[in-house]
Amino acid sequence: MKCFMEYLPEKLLELGIQPKFRIKQLYNWVYRKYVDDFEKMSNIPKDLRKKLKKEFYINPLELINHEIASDGTEKFLFKLNDNHTIETVLIKMKDDRVENGKKKEAKYTVCVSTQVGCKVGCAFCLTAKGGFVRNLSAGEIVAQVWFMKKFKNFDENKALNVVFMGMGEPLDNYNNLVKAIKIIAHTNGLNIAPRRQTVSTSGIAPKIKKLGEENLGVNLAISLHAVDDKLREQLIPLNKAYNIQSVIEAIREFPIDKRKKVMFEYLVIKDVNDNLDSAKKLVKLLNGIPSKVNLIYFNPYPGSPFKRPDEETMKKFQRYLLDRGITCTIRQSKGIDISAACGQLREKELKENNG
Per the prediction, the chain carries an average pLDDT of 92
How far is the C-alpha of 336 from the C-alpha of 259, rounded, in Å?
Answer: 32
Q: What is the tens place of the pLDDT at every residue in 202-229?
A: 999 999 999 999 999 999 999 999 999 9
The pLDDT confidence band at residue 128, using thresholds 50, 70 and 90, is: confident
Residue 332 has pLDDT above 80, yes or no: no
Answer with the residue of higher pLDDT: 14 or 331. 14
Angle at which helices 311-323 and 276-285 pack, to 10 degrees?
A: 30
Residue 127 has pLDDT above 90, yes or no: no
User: 3-state SS string over 24-40?
Assistant: HHHHHHHHHCCCCCHHH
How far is the C-alpha of 326 from the C-alpha of 151, rounded, in Å?
Answer: 38
For the CA atoms of 27, 28, 33, 39, what is the dihedral angle to 10 degrees? -70
The pLDDT confidence band at residue 245, using thresholds 50, 70 and 90, is: very high
Classify domain 59-95+104-353 by CATH architecture: Alpha-Beta Barrel (3.20)
- Catalytic residue status for 55: no
So what's the pLDDT on residue 198?
A: 97
| CATH topology classification for 2-56 | DNA polymerase; domain 1 (1.10.150)
Show binding-site residues for S-adenosyl-L-methionine: 168-169, 200, 223-225, 299
Residue 354 has pLDDT above 60, yes or no: no
Q: What letter would DSSP give residue 338?
A: S
| Per-domain boundaries in the chain | 2-56, 59-95+104-353
Q: What is the tens place of the pLDDT at every residue in 61-120?
A: 999 999 999 888 999 999 999 999 999 999 998 888 878 788 888 899 999 999 999 999
Averaged pLDDT, 124-142: 90
- Catalytic residue status for 342: yes
How far is the C-alpha of 160 from the C-alpha of 53, rounded, in Å?
Answer: 30
121 Rama class: left (phi>0) / alpha (psi -120 to 50) / beta: left
Active site residue: 3, 74, 342, 347, which one? 342
So what's the pLDDT on residue 339?
A: 52
Residue 355 has pLDDT above 70, yes or no: no
Residue 35 has pLDDT above 60, yes or no: yes
Residue 340 has pLDDT above 60, yes or no: no
The pLDDT confidence band at residue 14, using thresholds 50, 70 and 90, is: very high
The pLDDT confidence band at residue 140, using thresholds 50, 70 and 90, is: very high
The pLDDT confidence band at residue 277, using thresholds 50, 70 and 90, is: very high
Active site residue: 87, 140, 265, 347, which one? 87
Cα dist from 126 to 76, 167, 345, whole Å: 16, 9, 10
For the CA atoms of 216, 247, 136, 9, what is the dihedral angle to 10 degrees? 10
Cα dist from 97 to 9, 102, 103, 105, 337, whole Å: 37, 8, 6, 7, 25
Q: What letter would DSSP give residue 333?
A: P
Q: What is the tens place of the pLDDT at every residue in 141-199?
A: 999 999 999 999 999 999 899 999 999 999 999 999 999 999 999 999 999 999 999 99
Answer with the residue of higher pLDDT: 128 or 80. 80
Q: How many CB atoms lie within 10 A of CB 187?
A: 9
Residue 22 has pLDDT above 70, yes or no: yes
How far is the C-alpha of 17 from the C-alpha of 20, rounded, in Å?
Answer: 8
The share of the chain scoring above pLDDT 70, in percent, equals 94
- The reply to whether 2-56 and 59-95+104-353 are identical in fold is no
What SS3 state is found at 352? helix
Residue 345 has pLDDT above 90, yes or no: no
So what's the pLDDT on residue 18?
A: 87
Residue 252 has pLDDT above 70, yes or no: yes
The residues that bridge with 63 in the sheet, in sequence order, are: 78
Q: What letter would DSSP give residue 137?
A: P
So what's the pLDDT on residue 151?
A: 97
Q: Give the type of residue at 95.
A: D
Q: Where are the beta strands (DSSP E) in 190-285?
A: 197-201, 219-223, 262-268
Show binding-site residues: 118, 122, 125, 168-169, 200, 223-225, 299
Q: What is the pTM of this model?
A: 0.92
Angle at which helices 205-214 and 244-252 pack, to 10 degrees?
A: 10
Show binding-site residues for [4Fe-4S] cluster: 118, 122, 125
How large is the greatest C-alpha to C-alpha distance in the chain, in angstroms? 68
Q: How far apart are the first and last CA of the chain?
A: 33
So what's the pLDDT on residue 96?
A: 81
